[in-house]
């Protein structure tokens, strides 16, 4: 075989190998992607035809108005219950200033809160035991000597003192005559999102004041307070008709913060075929996907769309897709 023939055969083989490689690594994936895009377009056309058939003659504005009309009572009830399961401003504290000396800020702020409460009790004639801890088991400023304080600690301590002082003022507003002690248990957060703040108090009230206080707690629409137990002791049986009673009371305040995602899911609704809105309960994402898939499947079996009804062109029949 001549040298020119060998070279020609090698060139032909190289060209054939290049053409095969180009088809395998470039043209074949492109054709497969084009075929997948064609299939996706066909599915979208099918779904569009199904939606047009299902919601033919319907007005989106009217459907949305009916859905809002049906779900508005849910919104109102939800907002009312969220408001009731709150704790007012009992934990609200001022924003921390930009300072690195949080220990000094905590000492100054906590002492101011305690002094204001003691002054208010004295000015309103409410007796309190000198040994009562108005820091509510939180560190006193003199106990932090030589210790470091971070932001989370300072916030927790100040919020606890704020809670204790707010509850004490709530008792003062209920015409409490005196207070011997007030304890705050650590808050407990349940799996359902509720946080319970348990309070124990030993105070002095008349029976009439205590009954009014109990009625106010159970009729309060801004807070959810549950009485866990109480004990009433009359230390002056023969003194006068309405003596001050020593009341030892344990109650808890339930707090719940509704997340925005949960609120949206609780109030979400969809429009049923024919324009009648039907509510979808919590866990709407899976329910909506299931409804959409069932609707799309049912529409796909009813008939062919215009694109499906058309036959492929003669030149497409020779392509591998």
Over residues 154-167, the pLDDT tens digits come to 999 999 999 999 99
Using alpha carbons, select from 201, 199, 215 the residue that is nearest to residue 255: 199
Using alpha carbons, select from 75, 114, 110 the residue that is nearest to residue 93: 110
What are the tens digits of pLDDT across the range 13-51? Answer: 777 777 777 777 777 788 888 888 999 999 999 998 888
In sequence order, what are the residues at sequence separation of 6 or more whose Cβ sits closer than 8 angstroms to the Cβ of residue 245? 204, 205, 206, 207, 210, 232, 233, 234, 235
Lowest-pLDDT choice from 74-88, 168-182, 214-228: 74-88
270 or 203, higher pLDDT: 203
Q: Pick the last residue of a domain from 146, 173, 200.
A: 173
State whether 190 and 70 are in the same domain: yes
pLDDT at 300 over 60: no
Is 269 within a domain? Answer: no
292 or 228, higher pLDDT: 228
Is 284 within a domain? Answer: yes
Q: Counting beta carbons within 10 angstroms of the beta carbon of residue 121, is it exposed (0 to 12), middle (13 to 18) or buried (19 or more)?
A: buried
pLDDT of residue 293: 54
Of all residues in the chain, the percent with pLDDT exceeding 90 is 36
Domain that holds residue 224: 59-82+179-258
79 or 249, higher pLDDT: 249
pLDDT of residue 221: 79
Is 130 within a domain? Answer: yes
State whether 16 and 134 are in the same domain: no
pLDDT at 260 over 60: no
Using alpha carbons, select from 260, 236, 259, 234 the residue that is nearest to residue 248: 234
State whether 250 and 184 are in the same domain: yes
**Separation of alpha carbons 181 and 132, rounded Å:** 6
Domain count, the chain: 3
State whether 140 and 283 are in the same domain: no
State whether 199 and 231 are in the same domain: yes
Q: What is this structure's pTM?
A: 0.58
State whether 78 and 207 are in the same domain: yes
pLDDT at 286 over 60: no
38 or 315, higher pLDDT: 38
Q: Which residue has the tokens 């009014």?
A: 212
Is 267 within a domain? Answer: no
pLDDT at 285 over 70: no
pLDDT of residue 297: 52
State whether 114 and 130 are in the same domain: yes
**Separation of alpha carbons 250 and 116, rounded Å:** 25
State whether 76 and 192 are in the same domain: yes
State whether 183 and 68 are in the same domain: yes
What are the tens digits of pLDDT across the range 263-279? Answer: 444 444 334 444 444 44
189: domain CATH number is 3.30.70.60
pLDDT at 120 over 80: yes
Q: pLDDT category, 115, cuts 50, 70, 90?
A: very high
Is 66 within a domain? Answer: yes
State whether 78 and 184 are in the same domain: yes
Q: Pick the last residue of a domain from 117, 150, 173.
A: 173
Is 263 within a domain? Answer: no
Is 268 within a domain? Answer: no
State whether 69 and 186 are in the same domain: yes
Lowest-pLDDT choice from 29-33, 186-190, 238-242, 283-287: 283-287
Is 13 within a domain? Answer: yes
DSSP-derived letter for residue 149 is -
pLDDT of residue 259: 56
Q: What is the mean pLDDT of residues 169-185?
A: 94
Q: Pick the last residue of a domain from 219, 234, 258.
A: 258
pLDDT of residue 1: 60
20 or 195, higher pLDDT: 195
State whether 294 and 306 are in the same domain: yes
């Amino acid at each position: 075989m001549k040298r020119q023939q060998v070279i020609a055969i090698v060139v032909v083989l190289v060209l054939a190998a290049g053409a095969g490689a180009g088809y395998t690594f470039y043209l074949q994936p492109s054709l497969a992607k084009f075929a997948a895009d064609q299939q996706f377009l066909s599915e979208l056309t099918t779904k569009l035809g199904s939606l047009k058939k299902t919601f033919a003659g319907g007005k989106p504005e009217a459907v949305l108005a009916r859905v809002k009309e049906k779900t508005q009572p849910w919104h109102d009830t939800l907002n009312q219950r969220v408001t009731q399961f709150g704790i007012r401003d009992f934990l609200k504290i001022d924003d921390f200033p930009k300072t690195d000396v949080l220990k000094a800020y905590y000492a100054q702020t906590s002492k101011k809160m305690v002094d204001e409460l003691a002054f208010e009790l004295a000015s309103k004639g409410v007796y309190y035991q000198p040994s009562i801890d108005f820091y509510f088991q939180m560190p006193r400023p003199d106990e932090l000597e030589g210790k470091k304080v971070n932001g989370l600690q300072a916030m927790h301590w100040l919020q606890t003192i704020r809670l204790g002082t707010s509850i004490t003022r709530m008792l003062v507003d209920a015409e409490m005559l005196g207070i011997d002690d007030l304890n705050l248990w650590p808050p407990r957060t349940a799996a359902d999102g509720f946080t319970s703040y348990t309070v124990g108090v030993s105070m002095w009230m008349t029976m009439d004041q205590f009954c009014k206080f109990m009625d106010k707690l159970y009729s309060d629409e801004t807070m959810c307070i549950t009485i866990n137990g109480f004990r009433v002791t009359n230390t002056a049986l023969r003194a006068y008709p309405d003596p001050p009673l020593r009341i030892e009371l344990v109650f808890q305040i339930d707090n719940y913060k509704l997340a925005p995602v949960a609120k949206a899911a609780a109030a979400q609704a969809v429009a049923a075929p024919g324009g009648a809105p039907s509510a979808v309960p919590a866990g709407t994402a899976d329910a909506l996907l299931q409804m959409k898939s069932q609707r799309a499947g049912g529409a796909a079996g009813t008939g062919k769309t215009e694109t499906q009804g058309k036959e492929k062109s003669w030149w497409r029949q020779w392509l591998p897709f």
